[in-house]
Amino acid sequence: MEKLQNVLVTGGAGFIGSALVPVLLDKNYRVTVIDHLSTSKLKSLERFFPLDNFEFIKLDLLDENKLKEIVKESDLIFHLAANVDVRKGYLNTDADFLNNIVATRNVLESMRTSDRCKKIIFTSSSVVYGEALEIPTPESHGPLIPISLYGASKLACEALISGYVGTFGIDAVIFRLANVVGPTIAHGVIFDFFNKLKQSKGNYLQILGDGNQRKSYLYIDDCINALSIGLRKFSSGLEIFNVGSDDQIDTNTIAQIIIDELRLHPEISHSHESNNGRGWTGDVKYMLLSTEKLKKIGWKINHSSEEAVRLTAKNIISHGYD
């Protein structure tokens, strides 16, 4: 594979993107980040501004004309930008359609019209599988039947990428991620628990669903290691990899870890917003991915789900939770 010089990261100011950027810079790539900063903060990238091989551009991916100008100077795209709130799609059906599907189409169309940029790494999600009957779930599992608009939009993005690969000769790697956690996480169950405990001054915690939801949690460092492998695993066509821990943890245990780390004794209740103990409509109650395919090409998992959750909680506390 030819040497890639210019890497474009969409959503690069977000949780995963801001952890990926320093790794790319350390590998001596020239990195351009585009982000519309609606759900992320520029502060996460400010330390890179003085570097000659870094550039930040505030841009909404729905602005196709400006996007094309940026893409034509790139060799490869890490497409991370998306609506990150799975539950938001229930309240606003445009969120996943515009920020996931249309945005991805615009990225791909910009690549199609570029003479230079023909490689994309895309972060999809475990929720494309829906309520999979096969656990751990391999990449070959099907049919894929997502139960949320977020999951449907991620699957639609995968289909678009596959179509552009087959029709226009673009090369792509898709990573289906488990629940990624880390100290700067700004959404999801850990973030929600910390916010609820702060708001109640440590006296009360409501858990959505019955608390028995069991899922895989992936620490951010393990996620970035997987994405980095994508840089050197391009072949002609499309590759899909699961990325997740080797085990599961239930929501009640996550709550207890956070409570223990904060040394609190709150009153705990459960809110059953939907049937079968789900936390919300569209919540996949049980998830565990098979990652054997990724391990065969060199990826190694360093943290269990419990370790990922506990390490995240400790880091949030050490960075100033009160």
Residues 151 and 262 in one domain: no
pTM for this model (two decimals):
0.94
- Catalytic positions, written as ranges: 150
| Residue 89 belongs to some domain of the structure | yes
| Residue 82 belongs to some domain of the structure | yes
Residues 238 and 251 in one domain: no
d(Cα 252, Cα 209) in Å, to the nearest integer? 10
Residues 257 and 227 in one domain: no
| Residue 1 belongs to some domain of the structure | no
CA torsion through residues 101, 178, 77, 53, sign: positive
Residues 139 and 275 in one domain: no
Residues 167 and 264 in one domain: no
In terms of Cα–Cα distance, which of 39, 241, 23, 35 is closest to 125? 241
Average pLDDT, the chain: 92
pLDDT in tens, 248-262: 999 999 999 999 999
Contact 107, 65 (CB under 8 A): no
User: What does the DSSP assignment read for 307-322?
Assistant: HHHHHHHHHHHHTT--
Instruction: For residues 146-151, give the mean pLDDT.
Output: 94
* Strand blocks (E) in the chain: 6-10, 30-35, 54-58, 76-79, 119-125, 171-177, 179-181, 204-208, 214-215, 217-219, 238-243, 249-250, 267-271
Instruction: For residues 312-319, give the mean pLDDT.
Output: 91
Residue-level pLDDT at 233: 67
Q: Looking at the 3D structure of the chain, how many domains does it have?
A: 2
Q: What are phi and psi of 68, to 5 degrees?
A: -60, -40
d(Cα 240, Cα 303) in Å, to the nearest integer? 22
User: Checking DSSP bridges between strand 76-79 and strand 6-10, what pairing results, if any?
Assistant: parallel
Residues 173 and 251 in one domain: no
3-state helix, strand and coil shares in percent for the chain, rounded to the nearest 5: 40, 20, 40
pLDDT in tens, 81-137: 998 777 666 678 898 999 999 999 999 999 999 999 999 999 999 999 999 999 999
| Residue 45 belongs to some domain of the structure | yes
Between 43-47, 102-106, 161-165, the lowest mean confidence (pLDDT) is in 43-47
* Structural domain ending residue among the three candidates 227, 243, 259: 243
Point out which residues pair with 35 in neighbouring strands: 58
Point out which residues pair with 249 in neighbouring strands: 215
Residues 236 and 198 in one domain: no
pLDDT above 70 as % of the chain = 94
Instruction: For residues 139-155, give the mean pLDDT.
Output: 96
CATH number at residue 309: 3.90.25.10
| Residue 32 belongs to some domain of the structure | yes
Residue-level pLDDT at 134: 95
d(Cα 89, Cα 93) in Å, to the nearest integer? 5
The range of the structural domain enclosing residue 189 comes to: 182-215+247-318
With a cut of 60, say whether residue 291 has pLDDT above it.
Answer: yes
Q: Angle CA(287)–CA(235)–CA(245) in degrees, nearest 5?
A: 20
CATH number at residue 92: 3.40.50.720
Residues 298 and 269 in one domain: yes
Residues 200 and 61 in one domain: no
pLDDT in tens, 237-251: 999 999 999 999 999
Instruction: For residues 270-278, give the mean pLDDT.
Output: 74
With a cut of 50, say whether residue 1 has pLDDT above it.
Answer: no
Residues 257 and 237 in one domain: no
Residue-level pLDDT at 30: 96
